[in-house]
Structure 1
């Protein structure tokens, strides 16, 4: 195998596929990047058996072949080489020679035959979504994935297509995040994708109108971008019926400026850091929302203007959960919908039904 390639191109390919390497595998071959040189293209693949990423890189191939090389050392070598053309060739004794200007490395490589093959996925049955839309949907839900491993299904994001709508849903027992988009497709899909996979997918997706094709099997999902494919195992099990968690009626509606509310909660939470509850109290009155927090560190009082429909109440929250929601909303005006001081709070953007968030309150000791 002999090829030359521009540093920036191969470095970009390495950084894409490296996202599949967790460093937790017991198989040394999975610490490496599979490189195949054929025609005028390099195929780079990395996998941890749960997630596999393949990307294509333009190169000048002098002699075709394939190898596996340790991802960490290969990535660091390429990163530190001059911004110039790099020549890579197999020499004797399982060594790979990397030459760039006056730098020469001889690096041990592994046998490519030992690298696991990618799962076969039929790409005829697919849905297509704009990259920027999917990226935004993942960002708007992934913060609500469960961190504890007690309920593995909640460490995933529900990927649901029904009635020409794509829904992404995440919940962790304290909050629920739903993002929806119209999808001109009649397929019915209901799968759960590992949250960590979707977070890595969102890093590869770009803020552009280009399409990403998505294909499913019973066990895997494939995201197909122009030059990059990401294949992930699906989580086994049934996701929680999230619709049953959403209150059907509310007794009060608070219209408030999102940035003002976020800033006030951020300041109030400075005094709420005592312990892990991050407790803040909201006293909802006719024209004002008063936010307070008391702890051993001291106390704070914030007041912001609101529009209230219904009777005022007092309610308490973990400030982190409210901030996670507000930071992931886009519009200036938000609506908080509640019924009592102990029932869930639903937060939506004023004129947007495509994003819905639910946060459970903290019960206050009377």
Structure 2
């Protein structure tokens, strides 16, 4: 194989696929990137058997062929080359010669045919969504997935399509995040649970342009995201996702409307007095026109008052401040509505259009 391509294009492609390179494997081939020059295309692929990413690079193919090269080493070499054309040439012993201006590296690769190909995905069920929308809905829900492998389904997000709407749901046992967006067309309904790791990598790769689309295809075992020159294939999490409808209630005893930025900044200031290990709740005292926020910790105490609009009863309730801040950081509205029932029941932060709904469980406190 002999190919020539621009260093900048190569760096971009390597950094895209590297996100699917396995870093804990007993199979050395899974620590590699496959470089293929076939049918007039230069293709880079990485695959850790759960997540696979493939992208194409513009370049000149002088001799077709393929080779698997250690991803970490290849990535370091390519990044440190000067900004010029890079030539990659291989011989029959799977040695790769990488040349750029006066620099010339020779490294051992592995046979390309040993590399596990990405599974072929049937394209029967699909939706199309803008890169911007996909990036936003992941950003606005991903923070409330669980990192506990014992509750496997909670480490992913539910993607559900029905009635020309995509619903995305994540939960970790203390909170639930729901985002809904209208799709441009009607699609066959489906429900899949996508691993959080896959979605975190997608967010890093997609440009987030409003005009650029992502085509998403699902089968019973896999999900495929296609955009730009890139394909991302991931296994789905198996099992029935939690029935959250019974956790969602429209009843409330107290409703407050508050300036989001003011509320976020206030909690952020209060959090200065909390150590992660201390798990101190922030206590919120809701009365007619104001919300008083106070915190008592090993370091000291803090109190602040914010003006609000209130309907219903006064209420004293405690929350994990991080959970509140996670939600407030991803809502773009200037004002938010918070619905509460009592100090033991979850609160809901949702908009009138029902495009987002966040449930947060309160924390017990001694006051």
What is aligned with 2:365? 364
**Contact map agreement 1:145 1:157 (CA 8 A) in 2:** yes
**Contact map agreement 1:51 1:197 (CA 8 A) in 2:** yes
Cα deviation digits, residues 235-277 of structure 1 (max 9, x gap): 0111101121112311111100000000000111122326342
The answer for unaligned runs of 5 or more in structure 2 is none
Query: Which among 208, 224, 234 is matched to residue 236 of structure 2?
Result: 234
Quote the Cα distance in structure 1 between the aligned partners of 2:277 and 2:53: 41
Which secondary structure does the structure 2 equivalent of 1:327 belong to?
A: helix
Quote the Cα distance in structure 2 between the aligned partners of 1:156 and 1:78: 33
What is aligned with 1:283? 285
Query: Which among 315, 318, 321 is matched to residue 319 of structure 1?
Result: 321
Verify: 1:298 aligned to 2:300, yes or no. yes
Quote the Cα distance in structure 2 between the aligned partners of 1:363 and 1:203: 37
Cα drift, residue 203 of structure 1: 1.2
What is aligned with 2:167? 167
What is aligned with 1:12? 12
Verify: 1:71 aligned to 2:50, yes or no. no
Cα deviation digits, residues 128-164 of structure 1 (max 9, x gap): 1111001100000000001112211100100101122
What is aligned with 2:37? 37
**Structure-to-structure mapping, 1:86-235, within 5 angstroms:** 86-91=86-91, 93-183=93-183, 184-208=185-209, 209-235=211-237
Cα drift, residue 217 of structure 1: 1.0
Verify: 1:255 aligned to 2:257, yes or no. yes
Which secondary structure does the structure 2 equivalent of 1:87 belong to?
A: strand
**Contact map agreement 2:99 2:105 (CA 8 A) in 1:** yes
Cα drift, residue 95 of structure 1: 1.1
Quote the Cα distance in structure 1 between the aligned partners of 2:47 and 2:313: 55
The answer for unaligned runs of 5 or more in structure 1 is none
**Contact map agreement 2:157 2:170 (CA 8 A) in 1:** yes
Quote the Cα distance in structure 2 between the aligned partners of 1:219 and 1:93: 37
Quote the Cα distance in structure 2 between the aligned partners of 1:216 and 1:274: 39
Cα deviation digits, residues 278-307 of structure 1 (max 9, x gap): 411000111111110101111110111111
Quote the Cα distance in structure 1 between the aligned partners of 2:320 and 2:124: 46
Using structure 1 for the length normalisation, give the TM-score. 0.97
Quote the Cα distance in structure 2 between the aligned partners of 1:99 and 1:114: 25
Quote the Cα distance in structure 1 between the aligned partners of 2:276 and 2:67: 53
Which secondary structure does the structure 2 equivalent of 1:275 belong to?
A: helix
Which has the larger displacement, 91-100 or 336-345?
91-100
Quote the Cα distance in structure 1 between the aligned partners of 2:38 and 2:84: 22
Cα deviation digits, residues 40-90 of structure 1 (max 9, x gap): 421100010000000011110000000000000000000000000011101
Verify: 1:342 aligned to 2:344, yes or no. yes
Which has the larger displacement, 167-176 or 242-251?
242-251
Which secondary structure does the structure 2 equivalent of 1:170 belong to?
A: strand
Cα deviation digits, residues 180-220 of structure 1 (max 9, x gap): 01122231111101011111011111221211111111100
Quote the Cα distance in structure 2 between the aligned partners of 1:99 and 1:39: 23
